[in-house]
Amino acid sequence: MLTLTQQDQLNPWLTQTSNVAHNQTPKDTPVPDKNVEWYQPEIESLPTATVEFFEKYVGIKGEKAIKAHIYHIRDKAWNILPYPCIGLFRFLDFSIHLSPDYPEVVRRVQGGATFLDLGCCFGQDIRKLAYDAGTSENLIGCDLEESFLQLGYELFVDSATLKSTFVPGNVFAEDFLEQYHGKIDIIYLASFLHLFTEGQQKTVIGQIKKLLRPQSGSMVFGRHLGAEKGGPFKMESIGWDLYRHDQQTISDLFQVSGDEWKVTSSLSRYGSANWNDDRRGWQGGETKQMMFTAVRL
């Protein structure tokens, strides 16, 4: 199970916000501070693709109504865990479709491949993939925070229609998703690996390899914080001890068990379509965004 040290690293606000139901803010539970760089009160303008998704998939019409709905759910989530991806609306990136491998993932899912989004937050990328692939039965989402899984149904108003499976789980538990061992074809990691130290990341990769089918073509892909020169990194603003990858270190991470993997990656400016550009500095000036794909040979 997750140790206290690992819990604190995963969620530095744990003592203030744990065990809070997604529709409650108890009087004796401090409300997380919104006067931080990684809390953005409003979105200036939603991208056209986001408006289209909410109108067609969710059924909410008009940017004003969509924004009001998003703000309501986002602030519920902020009161549970005030992560930067929540405060800065990065969940609205639907980041999965930004990967160069996304068209292949859509085709494979349409062909019956089993897909797991690990650290899925609201399950936003599950919904994007289900919308684009036209199927959702073979999609699985997992997050440590069960309240986020429930908020996903509120955000996307699809509890009666979505056929995907959502499972709360702790990636450091010995029996983590044991029922899926050897049954997953594709795993997506969005803003997940960078939550952990180098040693913890090696444990995560070990768990992932248990989940994947032991065959050529099994895939892991995603995005996280990166740097031109990888290594341990202290994010002073939030108090996290992280490990940012460069292109060599992310490749090395997948080779530790002796399996053969083809690993590709790229680095770009860290940002988001919905993130006001003046809210910078908290993540560290040298921090970049890495996209990566690892395919078992």
Secondary structure of 174-213 in the HEC alphabet?
A: CCCCHHHCCCECEEEEECCHHHCCHHHHHHHHHHHHHHEC
Res 2 pLDDT > 50: no
Q: What's the predicted TM-score (pTM) here?
A: 0.88
Structure tokens at 190: 């969005």
Residue 245, phi then psi, degrees to nearest 5: -95, 150
What total number of domains does the chain contain? Answer: 1
The upper half-sphere exposure of residue 72, i.e. CA atoms within 13 Å in the direction of its Cβ, equals 11
> pLDDT (tens digit, 9 = 90+) per residue, 177-223?
999 999 999 999 998 998 898 999 999 999 999 999 999 999 999 99
Please state, as a whole number, how many other Cβ atoms lie within 10 Å of the Cβ of residue 189: 22
pLDDT band at 30 (very low <50, low <70, confident <90, very high): low
- Does some domain include residue 72? no
Longest Cα–Cα distance of the chain, Å, equals 54
In angstroms, the first-to-last Cα distance of the chain is 31
DSSP 46: -
CATH number at residue 161: 3.40.50.150
What's the pLDDT score for residue 276? 60
- Does some domain include residue 127? yes
Instruction: Tell me what percent of the residues of the chain surpass a pLDDT of 70.
Output: 84
**What residues are paired with 294 via a beta bridge?**
220, 263
Mean pLDDT, residues 117-122: 98
Q: In a 3-state reduction of DSSP, which class is residue 68?
A: helix
Instruction: Tell me what percent of the residues of the chain surpass a pLDDT of 90.
Output: 67
**Residue 8 parent element (H or E):** helix 4-10
Structure tokens at 228: 């031109």
Q: In a 3-state reduction of DSSP, which class is residue 18?
A: coil
Nearest to 38 by CA among 77, 79, 72, 86: 86
Instruction: Output the CA torsion sign for 222, 228, 234, 239.
Output: negative
- Does some domain include residue 32? no
- Does some domain include residue 270? yes
- Does some domain include residue 255? yes
What's the pLDDT score for residue 194? 87
- Does some domain include residue 77? no
Nearest to 192 by CA among 224, 155, 237, 216: 224
- Does some domain include residue 194? yes
* Domain coverage including residue 154: 92-275+283-296
- Does some domain include residue 28? no
